[in-house]
Structure 1
Amino acid sequence: MSNLFLLISLLSLLMFHCLIITSEIFPFCYGQGGEWHLLQPSVGISAMHMQLLPNNKVVAFDRTDFGPSNLSLPEGRCRYDAYDTALKVDCTAHSILYDVETNSFRPLMVQTDTWCSSGAMSPNGSLIQTGGFNDGDRAVRVFTPCDANSCDWVEYPGYLSQRRWYATNQILPDGRIIIIGGRREFNYEFYPKNEDPYSTSSGPFWLRFLLETRDESENNLYPFVHLLPDGNLFVFANTRSISLDYNHNRVVKEFPPIPVSDPRNYPSSGSSVLLPIDENMAIEAEIVICGGAPRGAYTQAGRGNFVRASSSCGRLRVSDENPRWVMEDMPIARVMGDMLLLPTGDVIIVNGVECGTAGWELGQSPVTRPVIYRPNGSLDWRFSVMSASPRPRLYHSTAILLADGRVLVGGSNPHRYYNFTDVDYPTDLSLEAFSPPYLSVEHRPFQPQISSVNEILMLGQPFSLTFWVPLYLSDDVLSVRIVAPSFTTHSLAMNQRMVVLKLVRVSHLPPDSHNLNVVGPSTAEIAPPGYYMLFVVHAGIPSWGSWVKIQ
């Protein structure tokens, strides 16, 4: 028995060091850089947009104006659209509902054109999907999850006041959704509208900043937008950023331009995240923006000259009195990369190419290896290169975090239509999942499992949860985190955010269970109302996420 105890102790000590020291020092500690698994060789559509719902199902969709997809609509249904630029009568699906738990999918019926649209999840768990192209540019589409297999899109053509093509959405503290920008739209508006016909509170509201940041290749589409803890919005376009008081339609502050002057928004297409907000310390807000394409890359790629993408990342602590950018370099240059917050608070950067820019046929040299960025690591050891996927994911690919800690990846269609032959990078209809290193088998003894937790969390109110773990290391390596699921498209994970909740007390329940007293997020500015995945993280290993609703 003493030998077994010694073995477990040594294993615990080794794993503890593996989890807190970078994988470059101990490469065996991180499960050989994660693992890729093909989930579906074809779901019939190329996933240009994706959103995880609170029932662990994923809405994915493409666009409606490229002709037929590879998935028929059921029961002989067809879409009749006199305004469609490719196919007036279309009996194929352009959207699916993917069930994570059963690894199955079914077609959905979308009517108006969703090309390069935007979205956010409402406080009640419905996906509010806005804009697009052609007959969809002013449309709002709503998908409300249900237990039956009958739920589908409900559409409201012409609901929006302006054309929203390449716009960005953000959920607000009062539950409304702000919709910012779009191609040649230098303004913003709100969903839902104020139904008072004499009210102007729904917009549109002029935002000169979007006009000022437009250049010859635009490079200000899909602006990066993050809700800050003070209630204002961080808005980044091209190389500039502001703090926007949307309630009074005024710019509170303009931040310094990012020093490496490569544009970061579409079509230069870098990516951004708001780093976790930690309620256990003084509240800070810090933005990270990585990758993109040099100025002029879009024009050059159109001439067959594929310029190398940017490898730079900038960090800006916007809560500082005088914020300044701190620059770092990724190990791989990347444009069209997706940046996602992992349950550990680390950031994964996945998909994209090393040369060229976003747009049809404008990217070359796919980057198939994700990179994990540890914001709190030492400066020399923040980046780790992961295992390569066998599938290149170029233009119109996407990625989202799942409640089990995996990253779901789909899409890639750099062509005007679906094209599977005689091209370097055929249209990809598959779904695959990347399992980060924390899911490797050697970490399972340290992975917590949530036994019970309140499904409803109130702002600033205490609650308790219980979890168990085979090998418990220390109270000092525990945290509780909530993650808002993102609507992801075009290298932008809209609405994603993480809050590290205040941990008040840990009680140990023999033989291997533990009770945590935790405080809900303090304000709606820190965590807007709606559904979140709650994770317990023990020594760098997250539990599976439990869905909770903040109200």
Structure 2
Amino acid sequence: MKLSAVIALVATACTSANIIFPFVQPTCNHESVGWTGCLRGQQCLEDNTCVPTYATSSFESRDTTPRTDGRCGSDFSGATCAPKGAYGGCCSKYGHCGKTLDHCLVSNGCQSGCTEPAGTTAAPLPTTAPASVAGPGVSNSEPVIGPLSSTAAGDGATGPVTTDGTCGASKGGTMYGFCGKTSAHCGEGCQSGPCSQAPISPAPSAAPAPQNSNPGSFRTVGQSGVPAMHAALLPNGRVVFLDKLSNGQYAYSAEYDPESNTYTPLAYKTNAFCSGGSFLSNGTVLNVGGNAPLTWLDDTVGNGFQGIRYLTRSSSDASQDGENWNEPGNQLNTARWYPTLQTMPDGSIFVASGSLNGLNPTVLANNNPTYEILSAEGVTLGQSITMQLLVKAQPYYMYPFIHLLPDGTLFVFVSKSSETFDVANQKTTKSFPDLPGDYRTYPNAGGSVMLPLSAQNNWTPEVMICGGGAYQDITSPTDPSCGRIAPLVPNAAWEMDAMPEGRGMVEAVLLPDGTVLWVNGAQKGAEGFNLATDPAFEVLIYNPKATLGQRWTTGASSTIPRLYHSVALLLLDGTLMIAGSNPDQMPVVAPDVDPQGFHTEFAVEIYTPPYLSGDNANRRPTAITLSKLDIETGVSTFTISFTAPGNAQKVQVALYHGGFVTHAVHMSHRMLFLETQGWKAGATEQTITVAGPPNNNVAPPGPYVVYVVVDGVPGVGQFVMVS
């Protein structure tokens, strides 16, 4: 990327720990002596802009004291890399020792120990972040799966079969040399073995969809404060964002207020980059896992691979607003980068999958295909247990889709395979046919949602998965197909459908009227730095109650690309907040767009759905009052008083949990339609009685939002606590 595009988010008045804002490009005087206008750890370029010192290159070779902290090169007191050291003798553009062409070629930015053999073609600059200096075998980049190189399926595809991830004729076939018996292993691209299993049926192609008669609208409302890689709606009605950015020049996390469209920077102690999250039963946001220490940027941010972070907010106590993340020192049992979390019926937290070090997931030693349980207080029980579904899905085993079902089991989907899993007895209770189509989880993630549960259908769950892709590269096609399954019915099978176009990184958000919005993502490419193109701008609206083939309509279109590291979530007022998109190794601010890809996006958008557009905006229920805000499952009823618009015919009460959002995965996301009595059609003043959820399998404990929905139009939601 352009050096001038590496942002420095400079302080104007705020000096609290780990927090500097606003986001502006500092100016300086490169000819001055002494103070130049840059911060500590920065230097002034000839164009009078400041950049982090580690991002510059002097192309000198010096033989001085070796360093292995990521700050090699003449810009750091003449330090260089030990020629026979653990890392290698060349200092890369990013200040890291190594011996590859990325480190040693002057044309790739080598600072010291450089070589440029005659006739050597410069290797492309890495599209991932520089390797960590936390120690050998640890990475600060994205886990990258090498390009797929397969032999054709059939009798001629033979070779020695192994079980170490290198099976087959060329170590590069379907599933990248991993043994198995699913269609992902034995179908197209199979190297050895039967090489005969095809998908149950071909996945459908893209199906054009009509525009919704009321498509909704987009508007830009503010700035996120940090790249919005992770997000959650807090019980105070605000939204928390997280990403990895440098102390002294950047913020790490931000608390965004949708009412004022302003943000407050937040600090954390361990690197939360590409972590997972859920909510504790007391309403606290739980964030776990992450990445290596940021010593190459900021030595105050420690190792996050086993980190556990807590953020507590209240709907009734504003004194907690703006408080930093709390990290008392609790740690996961094992390292987890790219984990998925689900809150369980007893309030404990199921944590599954992740990378041990962020390195190549086709190498088994790098992977963590296990799960562990955290207590209801968010403390590990101290055991990581192998999960066979994750084992067989390698290398597509990270960020699995997980949904808690009303019988207490988990529906777990990864790659193309799925099962129900009994956590208490540590066993699979049912396996399902492979979902036809391409890969659906990282790095070719689609989206997944459990459709609204309802008392009217006895809480029968249905899970939907859409999108995905073929391989981790910018050339990968994306999948338009969707599968929908009712996992608890006998002989459950996938019902196939299709979106109007293929999408990767597409994410699903439940709406209080029972429809589902599918937003963000790309029509070509995969997850990873600068690995996607053809942004998908339009909202897709899915009506699960419509007839198959008539469920999709298209909504309004944004003008802002929302690619890798984007988020979308429902707000209390019933609108959708959309933020993020940071497909760059380091943030790149418009208009200095990275020539290899798209810039980092800080703009926050609000999408107003059809139910609040046009005349519907004037038909919202108002003056909503709940008789209590603490709801016990099984025995609880409560009343809601409100004013309905004239001649209203129908009411629904939605109990909504937005969950924790990252990488197109919405963890613990769910919605229930509760039983109601006392509605008087056509009356303006209403008081209805509402039955709480039957048990914590249907509604695990934690914070929820109650939406009163009259004739499909929701009022402003109110937070409640379910126990």
* Aligned equivalents of 2:212, 2:586: Cα separation in 1: 42
Find the counterpart in structure 2 of residue 525 from structure 1. Answer: 697
1:137-167 deviations in whole A, cap 9, x for unaligned?
1000011115134511111446111111000
Which one of the candidate residues 645, 656, 661 is aligned to 1:488?
Answer: 661
Assess if the C-alpha contact under 8 Å between 1:418 and 1:427 holds in 2. Answer: yes
Find the counterpart in structure 2 of residue 95 from structure 1. Answer: 253
User: Is 1:44 paired with 2:225?
Assistant: yes
1:25-57 deviations in whole A, cap 9, x for unaligned?
8954x1xx11111111x3331100001011101
Cα drift, residue 505 of structure 1: 3.0
Find the counterpart in structure 2 of residue 124 from structure 1. Answer: 282
1:217-256 deviations in whole A, cap 9, x for unaligned?
x222100000000000011010000111111111111111
Assess if the C-alpha contact under 8 Å between 1:445 and 1:471 holds in 2. Answer: no
Assess if the C-alpha contact under 8 Å between 1:173 and 1:525 holds in 2. Answer: yes
TM-score, normalised to structure 2's length? 0.65
Find the counterpart in structure 1 of residue 318 from structure 2. Answer: 147
* Aligned equivalents of 2:489, 2:291: Cα separation in 1: 39
Find the counterpart in structure 2 of residue 469 from structure 1. Answer: 644
* Aligned equivalents of 1:253, 1:243: Cα separation in 2: 5
Cα drift, residue 201 of structure 1: 5.2
Assess if the C-alpha contact under 8 Å between 2:349 and 2:378 holds in 1. Answer: no
Which one of the candidate residues 594, 597, 604 is aligned to 1:431?
Answer: 604
Counterpart of 2:580, as a letter, is: G
Find the counterpart in structure 1 of residue 217 from structure 2. Answer: 35
User: What pairs with 1:62-77 in structure 2 (closer than 5 Å)?
Assistant: 62-64=243-245, 68=246
User: Is 1:208 paired with 2:385?
Assistant: no
Find the counterpart in structure 2 of residue 283 from structure 1. Answer: 459
User: How has the CA–CA distance of structure 1 residues 292 and 450 changed in structure 2, closer, same or farther, with 3 Å as cutoff?
Assistant: farther
Cα drift, residue 341 of structure 1: 0.5
* Aligned equivalents of 2:401, 2:712: Cα separation in 1: 29
Does the residue aligned with 1:359 lie in a helix, a strand or coil?
coil
Which one of the candidate residues 133, 138, 150 is aligned to 2:306?
Answer: 138
User: How has the CA–CA distance of structure 1 residues 201 and 139 changed in structure 2, closer, same or farther, with 3 Å as cutoff?
Assistant: closer
Q: CA RMSD in A?
A: 2.0
Assess if the C-alpha contact under 8 Å between 1:139 and 1:156 holds in 2. Answer: no
User: Is 1:226 paired with 2:397?
Assistant: no
* Aligned equivalents of 1:373, 1:219: Cα separation in 2: 27
User: Is 1:239 paired with 2:412?
Assistant: no
Does the residue aligned with 2:457 lie in a helix, a strand or coil?
coil
Does the residue aligned with 2:538 lie in a helix, a strand or coil?
coil
Find the counterpart in structure 2 of residue 115 from structure 1. Answer: 273
1:300-339 deviations in whole A, cap 9, x for unaligned?
43xxxx1320000100111211100000010121100111
User: Is 1:174 paired with 2:369?
Assistant: no
Find the counterpart in structure 2 of residue 14 from structure 1. Answer: none
User: Is 1:105 paired with 2:282?
Assistant: no
Find the counterpart in structure 1 of residue 108 from structure 2. Answer: none
User: What pairs with 1:317-396 in structure 2 (closer than 5 Å)?
Assistant: 317-396=486-565
Assess if the C-alpha contact under 8 Å between 1:445 and 1:469 holds in 2. Answer: no
Does the residue aligned with 1:257 lie in a helix, a strand or coil?
coil
Assess if the C-alpha contact under 8 Å between 2:243 and 2:253 holds in 1. Answer: yes
Counterpart of 2:460, as a letter, is: E
Question: Which has the larger share of strand?
Answer: 1
User: How has the CA–CA distance of structure 1 residues 91 and 479 changed in structure 2, closer, same or farther, with 3 Å as cutoff?
Assistant: same
Assess if the C-alpha contact under 8 Å between 1:509 and 1:515 holds in 2. Answer: no
Does the residue aligned with 1:178 lie in a helix, a strand or coil?
strand
* Aligned equivalents of 1:181, 1:267: Cα separation in 2: 14
* Aligned equivalents of 1:195, 1:389: Cα separation in 2: 38
Find the counterpart in structure 1 of residue 632 from structure 2. Answer: 458
Find the counterpart in structure 2 of residue 543 from structure 1. Answer: 715
Cα drift, residue 399 of structure 1: 0.9
Counterpart of 2:721, as a letter, is: K
Does the residue aligned with 1:381 lie in a helix, a strand or coil?
coil
Counterpart of 1:209, as a letter, is: L
User: How has the CA–CA distance of structure 1 residues 222 and 359 changed in structure 2, closer, same or farther, with 3 Å as cutoff?
Assistant: same
Counterpart of 1:230, as a letter, is: D
Assess if the C-alpha contact under 8 Å between 1:112 and 1:157 holds in 2. Answer: no
Counterpart of 1:35, as a letter, is: S
* Aligned equivalents of 1:158, 1:441: Cα separation in 2: 50
Counterpart of 1:329, as a letter, is: A
User: Is 1:514 paired with 2:686?
Assistant: yes
Counterpart of 1:354, as a letter, is: Q
* Aligned equivalents of 2:564, 2:445: Cα separation in 1: 10
Find the counterpart in structure 1 of residue 188 from structure 2. Answer: none
Cα drift, residue 431 of structure 1: 1.1
In structure 2, the gaps of 5 or more residues are: 1-208, 293-302, 356-366
Find the counterpart in structure 1 of residue 50 from structure 2. Answer: none
Counterpart of 2:414, as a letter, is: A
* Aligned equivalents of 1:165, 1:201: Cα separation in 2: 19
Cα drift, residue 509 of structure 1: 9.7
Does the residue aligned with 1:209 lie in a helix, a strand or coil?
helix
User: Is 1:315 paired with 2:484?
Assistant: yes
* Aligned equivalents of 1:181, 1:487: Cα separation in 2: 16
1:61-104 deviations in whole A, cap 9, x for unaligned?
1114xxx4xxxxxxxxxx5xxxxxxxxxx453110011122222
Assess if the C-alpha contact under 8 Å between 1:129 and 1:140 holds in 2. Answer: yes
Does the residue aligned with 1:387 lie in a helix, a strand or coil?
strand
* Aligned equivalents of 2:607, 2:588: Cα separation in 1: 25
Cα drift, residue 516 of structure 1: 1.1
Counterpart of 2:607, as a letter, is: F
User: How has the CA–CA distance of structure 1 residues 180 and 25 changed in structure 2, closer, same or farther, with 3 Å as cutoff?
Assistant: closer
TM-score, normalised to structure 1's length? 0.84
* Aligned equivalents of 1:504, 1:459: Cα separation in 2: 18
In structure 1, the gaps of 5 or more residues are: 1-23, 69-78, 80-89
Name the % identity: 33
Find the counterpart in structure 2 of residue 187 from structure 1. Answer: 370
Counterpart of 2:219, as a letter, is: H
* Aligned equivalents of 1:121, 1:450: Cα separation in 2: 29
Assess if the C-alpha contact under 8 Å between 2:210 and 2:553 holds in 1. Answer: no
Question: Which has the larger share of helix?
Answer: 1
Q: Which structure 1 residue ranges, 4+ long, deviate > 6 Å from structure 2?
A: 193-196
* Aligned equivalents of 1:26, 1:168: Cα separation in 2: 34
Counterpart of 2:374, as a letter, is: Y
User: How has the CA–CA distance of structure 1 residues 321 and 102 changed in structure 2, closer, same or farther, with 3 Å as cutoff?
Assistant: same
Assess if the C-alpha contact under 8 Å between 1:446 and 1:472 holds in 2. Answer: no
Counterpart of 1:348, as a letter, is: L
* Aligned equivalents of 2:377, 2:614: Cα separation in 1: 52
Cα drift, residue 203 of structure 1: 2.1
Cα drift, residue 441 of structure 1: 3.2
User: How has the CA–CA distance of structure 1 residues 202 and 500 changed in structure 2, closer, same or farther, with 3 Å as cutoff?
Assistant: farther
User: How has the CA–CA distance of structure 1 residues 520 and 153 changed in structure 2, closer, same or farther, with 3 Å as cutoff?
Assistant: same
